[in-house]
Structure 1
């Protein structure tokens, strides 16, 4: 697994941590059996979780990093299992933290098995997986703070419109 994380700051007049942080990974996938016997191309959960956890901690999410890394890992594997990807290959994963909105955005882009390779089925199975996590704390009974995470995923098919 190759990883790279880049911290980019949006233009802001305020001093402090960057408003936007971006991480990018290229992950190899392998065939795995899912519940129900269906096979899918998914990356190793342990490696993905470790990379997410390390990055989220570096981005200052503290104790929330572990829970968010677990959610992200499950969502990446779920999106890939439902995607039209077939066989082995690699994916590009982009993760974006918008700390002011308490939101993590992720994009999953499948890579062709070799440069210039096309899908042999030909049926327009390209696309990308989209992941959104919102998180935070809200007051609970007795004044204790309760952490929450809302999860959204979908596969977006890239379509080309021709005249």
Structure 2
């Protein structure tokens, strides 16, 4: 392999999309399993020192989204997280699938939350680090609803 081909291959490897998917049972979903999972993933993805702050931010956003679902204590929680390292962007999706309350018509609505987190360092401001986050929650109608 030529030196330029090796550099291109290494560059492509660094820019590869990193993704993870996890599922947690409902009930009293504690923040510790979520926090541990996110922290471990960010460290594996090579985010170093910023992993701690991003873990705190993402865990808080996940918990807030679940609180907005109105059904935090029931059903399973699915999370997908992806890192787009060159853009310093983390994208997440949290999906809440509630357990049926009775028949299919009585099934409570679930929902989906979207998270976007940007992070980095501003050279113009003496290397000031920043983390910006955005989240949205969208409820899904129960089958057989109005």
Deviation at 1:158, TM superposition (A): 4.4
Retained in 2: the 8 A contact 1:112–1:118?
no
Query: What pairs up with 1:6-17 in 2 under 5 angstroms?
Result: 14-17=11-14
Q: What TM-score do the two structures reach when normalised by structure 2?
A: 0.77
CA deviations over 1:63-117 (Å, ceiling 9, x no partner): 1111101100000000110114354221110001111111111111112426xx7
Structure 2: gaps (5+ residues): 1-7
Structure 1: gaps (5+ residues): 1-11, 32-42
Q: What TM-score do the two structures reach when normalised by structure 1?
A: 0.70
* Alignment CA distance shift 1:58-1:140 (3 Å): same
Match of 2:5 in 1: none
User: Aligned equivalents of 1:15 and 1:23: distance in 2?
Assistant: 19
- Decide which of 21, 27, 39 is 1:24's aligned counterpart: 21
Between Structure 1 and Structure 2, whose CA radius of gyration is higher?
2
* Alignment CA distance shift 1:112-1:158 (3 Å): closer
Deviation at 1:147, TM superposition (A): 1.2
Say which structure, 1 or 2, has more relative contact order (CA 8 Å, 6+ apart).
Answer: 2
Match of 1:109 in 2: 95
3-state SS in 2 of match to 1:67 = helix
Q: Which has the higher strand share?
A: 1
* Alignment CA distance shift 1:121-1:88 (3 Å): closer
Q: Which has the higher helix share?
A: 2
Retained in 1: the 8 A contact 2:71–2:98?
no
- Paired residues in the alignment total 133
